[in-house]
Amino acid sequence: MSFFETLVALLAVAILLLQVTRRLRLPYPGILAASGVAVAMLPGAPSIPIDPPTALALFIAPVLVDSAYDFPLGTAKRMFLPLFFYAVIAVLVTTGVVVAISELTIALPLAVAVTLGAIVAPPDAAAATAVLTNLPVARRVDALLKGESLFNDATALLLFSAALTVQANGGLDGTTALRIGIAAPGGILFGIAFGFLLSRVRPVAENTVGGTLLQFVYTFATWLIAERLHLSAVLATVSSAMTIAALTTVDASPRMRVHSFAVWTTVVFLLNVVAFLLMGMQARRIIGAMSEDQLYRAGGFALLVVGGVIGARLLMAVIFHFFVVLRHKRGRVLAPFDIGETLLVGWSGMRGLVTLATAFALPDNFPERDLVVLTAFSVVLATLVIQGATLAPLIHFLKLGRQEQYRKELDIARKSLVKAALNQLEPLKGSSADAIRTTYATFSDGVLDPAHRELLHSTMRAQRQHLDELRDGDHIGPQHYLELQEDLDWQQLAVGSEEERRLTES
């Protein structure tokens, strides 16, 4: 099979598996990674090489932009302390744990051990988010998990780059130390400047397919230029996306926003699917290249590292909990999570796309590369399967789910939006204002009652049927048909239920 045929076949398998994970309420990344291993073990399975320099930009940059654009700057400021703790201190401690495990067991070279620690240290919020979408928890827990995954990547990749440089140069000289020192602040400043520039260019391509394409061009350009300048590509990408989001006004095109959301949701999800499948398929080559003794050594070491990173995450969560409790007793503003929320945060340490992509990015001549990649994959697979599969039961057991509060918050917000519209119309007179006022009065409770919604749906079905008759009778052309069909789609979504409006990942 050619590469293209193999990729199409893998995506077809992925679609089937995604339906299984949705029905079993399991996070999809772990199942996909395990399936990649299973496919790789089949006789005649193809070997798909991955270009290391391309892996990070291709798999990480779009995911970071997608998450950073939607992460409020105000939330980052309010939660600076927990975000800093989990994104910086916890990553450094976890890396130290991996280095200690290496020193006490197989004694990897220090630079190699630090590289492995940087690869497996940052948790990925993708699997946790997949569970929390159906089982919403407190907003601050959700914000911490999502925000942490933005900023811990920067810490991990700075460590990763530094360790690779030291390994390649045989030591740390003054030039390398200076480059590492300016990577983070330089990346932030470059990202802000580049985001400001892009926010001025974007209106030129507004409401065009080229405008959406421009978003991907600037995403990869931000990453690649930052790398060329030896700056933190992660921080440059995150800061540029947050800058663009902060500069976006309420007058921005809704059509562009809806189109971009659909495209980005699909592309980011596709990258996740492909990355997890491809990582699983690398297992055959790595295992095939190892002797029985090497496999025994790698398996035992990987098991210890899995236990180390899970234990380190839980320990850091508990330490931070008591640290915040102590500060709160002394009158500090930040309120501590309760112990159940702390355990949830500690258990939400699934590794994912960043770990996979950084493992891909290791040079072919890196010392103990197969051991490092196999260990990284083991950490990803184990944390996704063990922690990912038990996250929902843990939420139920600790009674942390907020489904009812989530629905109430949504209803209150909807009512407040309707009230804002009615307040704007209040001083206005005339038939047009009365007609619009009547429309909003229908939503005075924030939601439509089922009978009203069904009546609206029945009228829309009649319109759709008549629209098909107009097209079939050659009374309108294909372009007009699509435009009128889109109008009806928006109307139906506007009065649809929450389930009808939501686009799920599988």
Which pLDDT score, from 0 to 100, does residue 70 have?
Answer: 81
Q: Is 365 helix (H, G, I), strand (E, B) or coil?
A: coil
What are the residue ranges of helices labelled H in 229-253? 233-247
> Helices (H), strands (E): how many in the chain?
23, 0
Tens digits of residue pLDDT in 248-278? 877 777 778 888 888 888 888 888 777 777 7
Q: Is residue 135 a part of any domain in this protein?
A: yes
Q: Is 151 helix (H, G, I), strand (E, B) or coil?
A: helix
| Same domain for 146 and 62 | yes
CA distance 57 to 227: 10
| Same domain for 395 and 459 | no
Global pTM?
0.81
Tens digits of residue pLDDT in 13-37? 888 888 887 777 666 776 777 777 7
- Report in angstroms the alpha-carbon separations of 274 from 58, 89, 159, 353: 11, 31, 26, 10
Token pair listed for 120: 């497996």
Looking at residues 3-9, what average pLDDT do you find? 75
Token pair listed for 189: 């400043």
Shortest CA distance to 361 belongs to which of 48, 33, 56, 49?
56
CA distance 280 to 37: 4
Whether 139 contacts 213, CB under 8 Å: no
Report the amino acid identity of residue 500.
E
Give the chain's end-to-end CA distance (angstroms, integer).
Answer: 27
| Same domain for 242 and 163 | yes
Query: Quick one: DSSP state of residue 325?
Result: H
Which region among 88-102, 111-125, 492-506 has the lowest average model confidence (pLDDT)?
492-506
| Same domain for 165 and 300 | yes
Q: Is residue 24 a part of any domain in this protein?
A: no
Q: Is residue 28 a part of any domain in this protein?
A: no
At 359, which CATH number? Answer: 1.20.1530.20
Looking at residues 67-83, what average pLDDT do you find? 84
The residue out of 364, 386, 401 marking a domain boundary is: 401
Report the C-alpha dihedral over residues 84, 199, 213, 76, rounded to 10 degrees.
Answer: 20
Which pLDDT score, from 0 to 100, does residue 38 have?
Answer: 74
Looking at residues 144-165, what average pLDDT do you find? 84
CA distance 349 to 315: 12
CA distance 505 to 25: 12
Say how many domains are in the chain.
2
Report the amino acid identity of residue 505.
E
Query: Quick one: DSSP state of residue 336?
Result: P
Which pLDDT score, from 0 to 100, does residue 346 have?
Answer: 92
Class of residue 230 by CB neighbours under 10 A (exposed 0-12, middle 13-18, buried 19+)? middle
Which pLDDT score, from 0 to 100, does residue 64 have?
Answer: 87
| Same domain for 438 and 387 | no
Token pair listed for 439: 């429309």
| Same domain for 418 and 395 | no
| Same domain for 351 and 202 | yes
Q: What are residue 448's phi and psi, to 5 degrees?
A: -90, 145
Tens digits of residue pLDDT in 360-381? 788 878 888 889 988 998 898 8
- pLDDT band, residue 190 (cuts 50/70/90): very high
More confident position, 197 or 149: 197
Whether 235 contacts 184, CB under 8 Å: yes
| DSSP state letters, 432-477 | HHHHHHHHHHHTTTSS--HHHHHHHHHHHHHHHHHHHHHHHTTSS-
CA distance 501 to 493: 6
The residue out of 351, 381, 401 marking a domain boundary is: 401
Tens digits of residue pLDDT in 31-58? 777 777 777 677 666 666 667 667 778 8
Class of residue 106 by CB neighbours under 10 A (exposed 0-12, middle 13-18, buried 19+)? middle
Whether 353 contacts 363, CB under 8 Å: no
More confident position, 444 or 18: 18
Shortest CA distance to 168 belongs to which of 103, 112, 96, 231?
112
Q: Is residue 506 a part of any domain in this protein?
A: no
Q: Is residue 41 a part of any domain in this protein?
A: no
Q: Is residue 169 a part of any domain in this protein?
A: yes
| Greatest C-alpha distance within the chain | 85
Shortest CA distance to 73 belongs to which of 245, 232, 191, 251?
245
Which pLDDT score, from 0 to 100, does residue 447 have?
Answer: 55
Q: How far is CA 311 from its chain centroid? A: 23
Whether 67 contacts 149, CB under 8 Å: yes
| Same domain for 189 and 119 | yes
| Same domain for 253 and 291 | yes
Q: Is residue 82 a part of any domain in this protein?
A: yes
| Same domain for 415 and 297 | no
Tens digits of residue pLDDT in 164-183? 877 777 766 677 678 778 88
Q: Is residue 205 a part of any domain in this protein?
A: yes
Q: What are residue 312's phi and psi, to 5 degrees?
A: -65, -40
Q: Is the torsion defined by CA of 487, 492, 495, 496 positive or negative? A: negative
Token pair listed for 487: 């109008």
| Same domain for 466 and 369 | no
Q: Is the torsion defined by CA of 306, 309, 311, 314 positive or negative? A: negative
Report the amino acid identity of residue 103.
E
Quick count: other Cβ atoms within 10 Å of Cβ 428? Answer: 11
Quick count: other Cβ atoms within 10 Å of Cβ 487? Answer: 12
Domain hosting residue 421, numbered range? 406-501
More confident position, 115 or 202: 115
Using the predicted structure, report yes or no on whether residue 133 has a pLDDT greater than 70: no
| Same domain for 413 and 392 | no
Report the amino acid identity of residue 207.
N
- pLDDT band, residue 88 (cuts 50/70/90): very high
What are the residue ranges of helices labelled H in 330-430? 339-347, 353-360, 369-382, 388-398, 403-425
The residue out of 401, 425, 442 marking a domain boundary is: 401
Which pLDDT score, from 0 to 100, does residue 429 have?
Answer: 86
CA distance 260 to 470: 31
Whether 402 contacts 137, CB under 8 Å: yes
